Amino acid sequence: MAYEHGSLDLGIRNPFRFEGTLRTLRGCIVVVLGLLALLKVADAVNVSPLAGWITTGIGFTLLAQGLWTAGSGLMQVLRFFVGRSVPTSLAYNQAKSESDSAAREQQDLAYDADQLEQMVVGRKNVTFAEPQGLIARLAHTLFPKLTFVPYPIRNLAQRLAGALSQTLVGLVCFALAAFTTSTGLAGNIGPLMMPVFTTLLLIYLAAVWFRAGAPIGRAVARALPSAGVGGLSKILAVSIAGPVMIGYGINRLLQMEPKLGQLVADFNSPLDQASNDTLEMHQVWDAFTTSYSNGLWLGLLSVLALLSCAALMLLIAQRSKQATPVTEVAELRDNWQESVHPREIFINIDSMVMANRRHKEVPNRVYRALQPKLREQADGKGSFYGEMIQETQPVVKPQPLEGLANPVRIAATLVGQLLLLLAALTLFLAVTPINQVIALFQAPLTNGSEAQVLAFLTTLAEHIGELATLGMALLLLTAFGRLLANHAHLFWGEIQFESLLVYFKCEGTFTESRISTGTSVYDSTQSENTVVRSSMTPWVVVTRIVSSTFAGIGPRNLEYPRHILEMRADKRELNGIVDDLRTFLRERETIASISNEKDLAAASKIYQINEQTRAASTGADAGQTARLSQAADNKLEHQEPA
């Protein structure tokens, strides 16, 4: 959304300063680690060109990751640009003054005009969708108010529930695999397969939680994905059939290679009955297990999963507690008889009544434009119809966190950034064992004796164990650091708004009649007017909505869909709208009159001239009547006898 400057501040502040400061600090430290790794390239090249290239790759990886992290953190810390058109409209904005913004935000709209009409007229909220899938329904059953929080938080809860379910299924599969190998179904190599199954379980669980930490995308921020158990049955089937098939394949291989089969049998035999070769194999294996232990990482994974889920679930529970999904409206349905043209009613409601309710002079969002339809009939009669849907500029609504929510949010963000920093440090520390392994292969054996071979294998196993430990640490720290950092970000980015949503519809009939004033023979001015008498049925529905969106980073900081969470009746605004409209109807002039002072002066002069004319005419008539009367008297006197 383009930055559209306005001198009046809308009151939207940057919510990411704390998080951005931590990310910037982590990025700077990772940049330093990358530079330190690049400083080791010269020493690594002396060992082997391969070691030099690997060290260079690790150094550039850390440097690039650190620069990107520091840059994105600075984007969060720097100015949060807010234009006049934010946040995103609920539906397509048909206001002419906002045509450019409406075209840009068209892909991020959560509703259309018909849905908004259904919501305000039907007293319902189509935002709250039914969860899909068994796991989603289970999560919404355990936490009923989860249905009424924004989609990103609902999807976060479903994602955590899915990760926990997959973790439990993985443990069940591991138990089934252990049962298969311990009962002999996998053959004689069952004991050797358990470390493999443990490693596979560890990698599987790390991958599950790594996927669970993926950021909530825009597609997931406006809808609910299905969270079912379709994939779990496949995992169960593979966990049961997999060990059997693997065991069968390995047994066939051992049958084809008797020496390898004897070696495996000797390795499984007790130590007091083992040969020297078997003891050497145990020594090499012990060197590897001394540096690497699946049990340690399984325990660490369990602790991190429980702590991360506890922190995020507490934030989700606190946010769910604040949900109040009311669907109330205030409405007026009445019948009015007024002497006014129907078109003037719609002009007034649009240009005066709704325009007076703008917030900081920001134009209202017009979701259904007012286009009245007049159907004129014969003899000055007809009918009319018109409707509109408008929303006032959304105003930021404070959303304080109560109880432990704010400390937990800060702690989750801090721990997430710390785990990601430790993951970068782990990658930096991997440079040394990698170079040691390469140097070990570069050093030739002097005489190739069994002691030298055993020492070589033991040292190699020890370094490989160190690399496995660092690799598993890198995987777990990245998975859970990403989980906490990305999902704690949601609870920093939610911004709630409050606005007035008005639905207006008016229909009725009208008739025309003519009124004339000033038609006396002595009147100097006359007014003839055609009066339109309208019989109208207005329907006004007003609700004050609370909507929610999630801020982002960069130029598209507030271009997420905005969803309606609450609808509250606002009778005061309804009464104000009705009073403004009735006042306009009462104060209208039906008869045309003169309001201009010059016209009034001219009419006054004409009136004075007419008065003088009438006075002169009356005087002349009176004089003529007197003379006629005198003449008659003289005639009568002349006719009298002497």
Lowest mean pLDDT among 141-150, 467-476, 494-503, 598-607: 598-607
215 in a structural domain: no
In sequence order, which residues have a C-beta less than 8 Å from that of residue 14 and are 6 or more positions away? Answer: 76, 77, 79, 80
Q: In this structure, are 617 and 575 located in the same domain?
A: no
Q: In this structure, are 390 and 508 located in the same domain?
A: yes
pLDDT band at 634 (very low <50, low <70, confident <90, very high): low
Percent of the chain with pLDDT over 70: 72
Lowest mean pLDDT among 50-64, 107-121, 401-415, 593-607: 593-607
300 in a structural domain: no
In the beta sheet, which residues pair with residue 382?
376, 510
Q: At what angle do helices 405-429 and 431-442 cross, to 10 degrees?
A: 20
Residue with more model confidence, 329 or 627: 329
Q: In this structure, are 636 and 579 located in the same domain?
A: no
Report d(CA 589, CA 586) in Å as an integer: 9
Q: Which two tokens stand for residue 410?
A: 């800060």
Report d(CA 97, CA 89) in Å as an integer: 14
Residues 404-431, mean pLDDT to the nearest whole number: 93
- CA 525 to chain CA centroid, Å, is 67
Greatest C-alpha distance within the chain: 192
pLDDT band at 475 (very low <50, low <70, confident <90, very high): very high
pLDDT band at 416 (very low <50, low <70, confident <90, very high): very high
Q: Which two tokens stand for residue 463?
A: 């370094």
Given CA atoms 282, 286, 287, 289 in this order, what sign does their dihedral have? positive
- State residue 143's pLDDT score: 84
- DSSP sequence for 285-322: HHHHHHH--HHHHHHHHHHHHHHHHHHHHHHHHHHHHT
Q: In this structure, are 580 and 602 located in the same domain?
A: no
State the distance between the two ends of the chain, measured CA to CA, in whole angstroms: 120
What distances in angstroms separate CA 640 from CA 627, 630, 635, 637, one per listed residue? 21, 16, 9, 6
pLDDT band at 638 (very low <50, low <70, confident <90, very high): very low
Residue with more model confidence, 528 or 79: 79
Q: Which two tokens stand for residue 462?
A: 């020890």
Residue 74, sorted as left (phi over 0), alpha (psi -120 to 50) or beta, turns out to be: alpha
- CA 596 to chain CA centroid, Å, is 57
Q: What is the pLDDT of residues 545-569, one digit of tens each?
A: 999 988 888 777 777 888 999 999 9
- State the alpha helices, DSSP H only, in 494-527: none
Q: In this structure, are 556 and 579 located in the same domain?
A: yes
Q: In this structure, are 341 and 390 located in the same domain?
A: yes
Residues 232-245, mean pLDDT to the nearest whole number: 61
Work out the burial of residue 292: count CB atoms within 10 Å of its CB; fewer than 13 is exposed, 13-18 middle, 19 or more buried: buried
460 in a structural domain: no
- State residue 162's pLDDT score: 85
Residues 439-463, mean pLDDT to the nearest whole number: 72
- State residue 361's pLDDT score: 80
Residue 344 has pLDDT above 70, yes or no: yes
Closest CA to 164 of 483, 477, 405: 483
Residue 505 has pLDDT above 80, yes or no: yes
Residue 245 has pLDDT above 80, yes or no: no
Given CA atoms 556, 561, 566, 570 in this order, what sign does their dihedral have? positive
Where among 555, 586, 617 does a domain terminate? 586
Mean pLDDT of the chain: 79
CA neighbours closer than 13 Å in the CB half-sphere of residue 479: 24
- State the alpha helices, DSSP H only, in 78-150: 99-104, 113-122, 134-142
Residue 607 has pLDDT above 60, yes or no: yes
Lowest mean pLDDT among 407-411, 523-527, 614-618, 637-641: 637-641
Residues 54-61, mean pLDDT to the nearest whole number: 92
pLDDT band at 227 (very low <50, low <70, confident <90, very high): very low
Residues 441-447, mean pLDDT to the nearest whole number: 65
115 in a structural domain: no
Q: Which two tokens stand for residue 377?
A: 């009939």
Name the amino acid, one letter, at 554: G
pLDDT band at 100 (very low <50, low <70, confident <90, very high): confident
Closest CA to 170 of 135, 197, 138, 133: 197
Number of domains observed in the structure of the chain: 2
Q: In this structure, are 334 and 373 located in the same domain?
A: yes
- State residue 565's pLDDT score: 92
- Domain boundaries, position 627: 598-642
551 in a structural domain: yes
Report d(CA 551, CA 109) in Å as an integer: 15
Torsion of CA 75, 79, 85, 87, to 10 degrees: 60
Q: Which two tokens stand for residue 446?
A: 């002097």
Q: In this structure, are 502 and 365 located in the same domain?
A: yes
- State residue 132's pLDDT score: 79
- State residue 502's pLDDT score: 93
- CA 58 to chain CA centroid, Å, is 36
Report d(CA 414, CA 122) in Å as an integer: 45
Contact 99, 363 (CB under 8 A): no
In the beta sheet, which residues pair with residue 512?
532
Lowest mean pLDDT among 7-16, 39-48, 304-313: 7-16
Q: In this structure, are 504 and 574 located in the same domain?
A: yes
pLDDT band at 24 (very low <50, low <70, confident <90, very high): very high
Q: In this structure, are 541 and 582 located in the same domain?
A: yes
607 in a structural domain: yes
Q: In this structure, are 506 and 394 located in the same domain?
A: yes
Lowest mean pLDDT among 151-160, 405-414, 575-584, 603-612: 603-612
Percent of the chain with pLDDT over 90: 24
- State residue 185's pLDDT score: 53
Lowest mean pLDDT among 11-15, 566-570, 634-638: 634-638
Q: In this structure, are 626 and 552 located in the same domain?
A: no
Report d(CA 457, CA 453) in Å as an integer: 6
Rg of the Cα atoms in the chain: 43
Residue 114 has pLDDT above 80, yes or no: yes
CA neighbours closer than 13 Å in the CB half-sphere of residue 285: 10
Residue 167 has pLDDT above 70, yes or no: yes
The continuous run of DSSP H or E covering 498 comes out as strand 494-517
- State residue 642's pLDDT score: 41
Residue 105 has pLDDT above 60, yes or no: yes
Residue 239 has pLDDT above 60, yes or no: no
Closest CA to 99 of 79, 85, 117, 83: 85
- State residue 640's pLDDT score: 47
Phi and psi (nearest 5°) for 60?
A: -70, -35
Residue 625 has pLDDT above 60, yes or no: no
Residue 484 has pLDDT above 70, yes or no: yes
Name the amino acid, one letter, at 436: Q
Report d(CA 1, CA 96) in Å as an integer: 17
Residue with more model confidence, 527 or 492: 492
DSSP strand pairing (494-517 vs 381-391): antiparallel
Residue with more model confidence, 525 or 443: 443
234 in a structural domain: no
Residue 263 has pLDDT above 80, yes or no: no
Residue with more model confidence, 314 or 99: 314
Highest mean pLDDT among 87-91, 105-109, 274-278, 585-589: 87-91
557 in a structural domain: yes
pLDDT band at 29 (very low <50, low <70, confident <90, very high): very high
